[in-house]
Amino acid sequence: MKRIFLINAILFIVINSVNAQQNSKPKDSEIWSPVPKIVSFQNTPDDAIILFNGGNLDQWISVKDKSAAKWIVKDNTFTVNKGTGNIETKQSFTNYQLHIEWLIPSYITGSGQARGNSGLFLASTGKGDNGYELQLLDSYNNRTYSNGQAGSIYKQAIPLVNASKKPGEWQTYDVIWNAPVFNENGSLKSAARVTALHNGILIQNNVELKGETAFIGTPTYKNHGPSPIKLQDHGDPSEPISFRNIWIRNL
């Protein structure tokens, strides 16, 4: 008897579900609100924050002492001024879309990690090289460890492909950054994730990070909130890297 009752109950649910589908209308599944904001794209998206437009470094400061950034601005670009230290944005960010263009000079020297080395720190969490580093390096016919080449999340995630152009050609990174979230007691609630395109080619696909970049040892997390974006003065003897056309959109 119980079995017959169960079968009848299932049939009742199935029949009512079929009837509901047959009686529904296309408009029943239409969603009209919220209405997506209209954003157009010419040189940059309408809603972007311009971090460098070719004129000055007013949006950047020295990481060391928070003074004005001392890198060299010339011909709508700016270049690492070796020995002056890392620079970071005045503003702090959480989740964002970032576009940045960078150039390894054609007359670059050196090999391996000593060949146009710099870093894009997707969140700068302190002085020095604290944060989460997307590697900048000449990786065009320049062999180094795979989790340290251009496009790597340094010493964490190897890029899916090597999309590097040769020195002397401008390159692009387009990055989607989802910052880590921490509980009230400082423990990790959800890890940072990053998607990155190098010269329009996907190289990091929603990768979950293990923590902040560590040159020695394993990455670890420490509690932090919204953070600046940092560019590295690596200090190697090769010719320094240049940048242009940097913008960001808060997500």
Per-residue pLDDT of the chain (251 residues; tens, 9 = 90+): 556 655 555 655 655 665 656 677 888 888 888 878 888 877 889 999 999 999 999 999 999 999 999 999 999 999 999 889 999 999 999 999 999 999 999 999 889 998 888 999 999 998 888 999 999 999 999 999 999 999 999 999 999 999 999 999 999 999 999 999 999 999 999 999 999 999 999 999 999 999 999 999 999 999 999 999 999 998 766 678 999 999 999 99
- CA quadruple 183, 92, 102, 65: dihedral sign: negative
Indicate which CATH number applies to the domain containing 143.
Answer: 2.60.120.560
Cα 191 to Cα 27, 28, 177, 220, 241, distances in angstroms:
39, 37, 11, 11, 30
Tally of structural domains, the chain: 1
User: Domain of 200?
Assistant: 35-250
pTM flag (> 0.75): yes
Domain-located, residue 182: yes
Domain-located, residue 129: yes
Domain-located, residue 240: yes
Domain-located, residue 120: yes
The token pair at 234 is 């690596």
Query: H or E element: which one contains 17?
Result: helix 2-23
Domain-located, residue 28: no
